[in-house]
Structures are given as structure tokens and as C-alpha cells.
Structure 1
Amino acid sequence: MNAIMPVEVQAPMQPFSSDQTIGTALALMTRAFAAAGIDSAQRDARFLLQSLLGLDGAVLLTQPQRSLGDDALRISDAVRRRLAHEPVSRIAGRREFYGRNFVITPDVLDPRADTETVIDLALDIIKSKGWAKKALSIADIGTGSGILIATLLAELPNARGIATDVSPAALTIARQNAERLGVAERVTFVAARGLEGCVGPLDLIVSNPPYIATDKIAALEPDVRNYDPMIALDGGPDGLRVYREIAEDIAKLQHSSCVVVEVGAGQAADVKNVFSSVGWSLLGERNDLGGHARAVALEIHS
């Protein structure tokens, strides 16, 4: 008979004390995160400490004997939350996107690096059309934290924008981020679904809509399914519901616009088919780091 080996259970991490040092905390956090199966254990530990202590990376490395002091309890709570797979950006309350820092809360999607492809592609289209200095009118559908509209207005000082979202709480965060970037006076925030109540013409429409098929959400990583708002994830039975709504809204505008949307891996062809009802020509696509088409740009001929 084979002996039954006991299962080793990871003991919960003990809270930090005020007299413990940065170096000790960094080592213990890294070890605990790795034991919990977090691939980015060392990076997450460093980022959390930097954010919570208000230090840059150089100080973290050059002053390892510095004590945690009154921040020990906050760091202990942050470790507990990360071990429960809450994303580091949510614990810190901010996310870097396109070289700028954005506030995020439980009311908005945690921005991913893949979404920067939407900005890159939109700016490429604008440059190719000679619109960089034009007084563009830009709409951001389902703005969430406002990363798309705020970034585009920061990059295009003559542009103005409209940002819509069904969530008033999300619009509050989007406005806060626009204010932090100094672009709030050039954007109108509208509590609406899609382009309801928006009057054209609109030169550019951008969106990172929910595109996960409903029955696929349960299989997402816990960092996503347990912490991102469901309304920002659920794209309906086939993941394409909101793209159809956007296409219908654009048809009502009755003028031509450029549209740049984020799409899920393998969805590019299906999304283009959705827009076939309003007539389009392909302006370009942009792949993410995994080689998947992540942003699609179309010119809509209404």
C-alpha cells in the first residue's frame, strides 16, 4: 500500500510590524506571492511597496534598512488583498497607461496594456489623414476610467471629446482622470448607452467595449472575474452585443466617421462583419504583444 503524503498548507502571512525594514518586507512579500502561484511575485511586491510608501525604485533598493513605521498595517492589508488575487493596480488605486497615471476604483475596468493599441492605431489614422492639428470631435463609448478619451485629448491639444457610460460612478472617475490630465474642459461626460443624445458630426469614435461571451466569464483569471465590473466584461452570448449597438448608433448619425475599437483575441473578422451593415472600409489593425489583432480601425460610410 502506498503511503498517503500529507498536503502542505501554506500558513497565512503574519502582519508586518512597524520596526520591520523595507528589505525584510520586500523579501517576505515576494516569497508569499510566489508561494501563492503569482507569476509576477517580485514585481508586484516592489510596486506595492513603492506605491504605499511613496518611494521610487531607487530608494527601495538603496535604503533596505528603512523601517516600515506607521505604514506596516497598510502594507499588511495590501499583502492580504494581493494573496486573494486582487490586482496590484486596484490595491494601489492607480494604473499607468500610455505613460500617464490614472485613478481606478471598483467601479471601472482595470486598464490593460493591450488597450494602448487603440491609442496607437487612432493616432496613426489621424496622422495619415493630416488631422493632428485639426479641431477634431472624438467620442468614447463606454469610457469607464476615461483612459481613451483623456489620453487622446492629451495627445491632441486641439481636439474635443464626448465620453459616454451607463455608470454614473464610472463617469465620476473618468472626469477625475480628465481633470488630473488637464483636459476636462475639452470633454463632455454623458450618462448614456452608446451614443444616445450625442449630436454629430464625429470625426473619430473609439471604444473598448465588453467583449467576453457570457459563458466564458467564469473561466477568466480570478484577477479579472472577481474584480472587474461585470458590466465591463459581459459582451452577451457571442461577445458582440455592444459592437452591434455601436454600429446601430453610427447609422443614426448619417455621416462618415472613423471608428477604432478594441476586440478580443480572434474577434476581428466577426467585428468587421458586424459593421458591414453600415458600410465600411478597413483603415488598419494593430496586434497586441501576443500577436492577436487587438484594435481595428474602420471608416464608416453612412
Structure 2
Amino acid sequence: MSRPTGSVVLAQAVRQLNDAGVPDAPRDARRILAHVCGVEAGRLTLILPDPVTEDQEARFAALILRRAAREPVSHLIGRRAFYGRDFKVNRHVLDPRPETEILIEVALQEPFHGVIDLGTGSGCILLTLLAEMPDAQGVGTDISKDACLVAEDNADALGLSERAVILNTSWLNGIEGQIDLIVSNPPYISADEMDGLSPEVLDYEPHLALTDNADGLTCYREIARTAPQHLAPGGRLIVEIGPSQGAEVAGLFRAAGLTGVRIVSDLDGRDRVVIGCQTAD
């Protein structure tokens, strides 16, 4: 009995995902099949005419079932691309989002020698900044021990373990001294907004990293209260925000004594990043 080709199992999977109401079913099915077949997604077309093995067909079918239940593709294949690099992800960390790359761009506008990433999660922000700034060293903190393990794995995979320290702590607890850059993408979704999230986010990503279970500003208040004392003169504090939080977070930064406070928009024109600077000597 002949084996089905990649094209056949792919078409079946797309129909299955469409029936389950999964957005972008063709794209997701292709990414999952490429993963199962061990090829880059961009090269999948080249092997679609070939028969799939029994093992590949079974693995693909199992993953498609999980995707139909709205489990994120990144969890199924174990990685997510961010700023040109792949990062390990799982249910213990947030998926890196394309909009977070705005924070990276802002941070790289000026040189820095040291960086602290608060609530580092997968480590995607910290490790991207270190990879882009070869002479810099950094620390990532996270209250989740499981998240810290993911960040450490990503540091190893990217060859950055010697320049990145991952600490299982809350925000800046236990951190001493001053540094020239502090960054964070903290939990900013308010309790009232949680029910509006997609199943991929609400059911599979850690709520600890999504929401403060309050008004969405709790973490910014804590960061604004503690971070300035850890900034060297001229140092920068840069945070990602929800699109409706720009004015309030900027106000917290100004009240904390930071100067040059500004809001940076993302590619869709929504407020995305707030930056403030410590007074220079």
C-alpha cells in the first residue's frame, strides 16, 4: 500500500484546522508539517510531492489535533522566532511577540555595557540585546523558576551563558549597584481584559506573565519605584506597555524623577514603549 504524500496530509490537516476555527490554518499546518519532516518551512514545498513515513504521518496527526484544540504552534514545535533568532518556548513563558522588537530597536539606539531585564521569561529581550551588543553583559530576573530554566537553556543555545546571568527573584530584589540600561515587558493586561484574549493565550500562556490581576499598572508602579536607584547617571529605563497605557506609565516615570520621558509607537501606530533616563551628572 502506497504512503500518502505530504500534499495529501497537508490538505487534510488544513481542512481539520479550518473546521476547528483555527485562524491561518494553512500557515499553521505548513509550519507543523515542516517541523515533523525536519525541514525549514520555506523549503516545505520541495518535499510535498514525496510520501511521508508512517511515523511522520502519526506525529503530524497528533500535533494537528493539539493545534485544533488551540494549543499554540510554538508550543507544538518548541520554539518561536524573535529578532532573527529562534528561542525555546513552552507553557512556562510568554511567546516572544513581534511588537516587542520595538523595545529592542529603542534599546539599541544607544550603546550600553550592562543591562537588566525584569521578568525575563524566555530571555528573548535580554539575550537579543546581548547578541546585538557583543561587549555587553546582563542579568535577567524572573519570579518563575521554570521560566528561569527556559531562559538559561536559550542562553546556552545562543552561546551567551558567559555574558548572561539568570536570577530567580522578583524584579530587582537582591540586585546591587547601578547599570546603564534596565528593560522590561511586565504583565500589563488588566483583570477585566483577560476574558478577551484568544484561547492560545488565555489557555496556554502563564497568567503570571500576562496580568497583575488588577488594573494592569501594578508592575509599572513597582518598576518606577525601584528601578531609578539602580540606573547609573544617564542610564535608561525602557518598558513595553499595552496600547492604552502610554500616558499613565509616562507619568509614573516622570514622578520617579526620570527625564526625557517619551512614548514610542509600534508599526501600527499604537503606543508600545515608554523610555525615561536617569539624570546625568
Please indicate, yes or no, whether the TM-score normalized by the shorter chain is above 0.5: yes
- For 2:44 and 2:253, locate their aligned partners in 1 and report how far apart those are by CA, in whole Å: 50
2:274 aligned with 1:296: yes
2:64 aligned with 1:79: yes
Identity of aligned residues (%): 39
- 1:197 aligns with one of 174, 180, 200: 174
- For 1:186 and 1:279, locate their aligned partners in 2 and report how far apart those are by CA, in whole Å: 30
The code of the aligned residue for 2:22 comes to I
2:201 aligned with 1:224: yes
2:237 aligned with 1:259: yes
Q: CA deviation at 1:254?
A: 6.9
Stretches of structure 2 lacking an aligned partner (at least 5 in a row) = none
> Is the alpha carbon distance of 1:84 and 1:276 closer, same or farther for their aligned partners in structure 2, counting shifts above 3 Å?
same
What is the TM-score of this pair, normalised by structure 2?
0.93
2:26 aligned with 1:47: no
Q: CA deviation at 1:103?
A: 0.3
Which residue is equivalent to 1:31? 15
Cα RMSD between the aligned structures?
1.9
Q: CA deviation at 1:287?
A: 2.3
Moved more, 67-76 or 158-167: 67-76
What is the TM-score of this pair, normalised by structure 1?
0.87
1:60-96 C-alpha deviation (Å, 9 max, x unpaired): 2123232221122211111011111111111111000
How many pairs are equivalent? 278
The code of the aligned residue for 2:51 comes to S
The code of the aligned residue for 2:97 comes to R
Matches within 5 A, 1:90-169: 90-124=75-109, 126=110, 131=111, 136-169=113-146
Which residue is equivalent to 2:221? 244
Note if contact 1:122-1:297 (Cα within 8 Å) is conserved in structure 2.
Answer: no
Where 1:203 maps in the other structure, the secondary structure is strand
Stretches of structure 1 lacking an aligned partner (at least 5 in a row) = 1-16
- For 2:268 and 2:43, locate their aligned partners in 1 and report how far apart those are by CA, in whole Å: 33
- 1:171 aligns with one of 118, 134, 148: 148
- For 1:100 and 1:183, locate their aligned partners in 2 and report how far apart those are by CA, in whole Å: 13
1:85-132 C-alpha deviation (Å, 9 max, x unpaired): 1111111110000000000011111111111111011112x1xxxx2x
Note if contact 1:137-1:201 (Cα within 8 Å) is conserved in structure 2.
Answer: no
Larger Rg: 1
Note if contact 2:185-2:239 (Cα within 8 Å) is conserved in structure 1.
Answer: yes
Where 1:206 maps in the other structure, the secondary structure is strand
Which residue is equivalent to 1:287? 265
> Is the alpha carbon distance of 1:182 and 1:262 closer, same or farther for their aligned partners in structure 2, counting shifts above 3 Å?
same
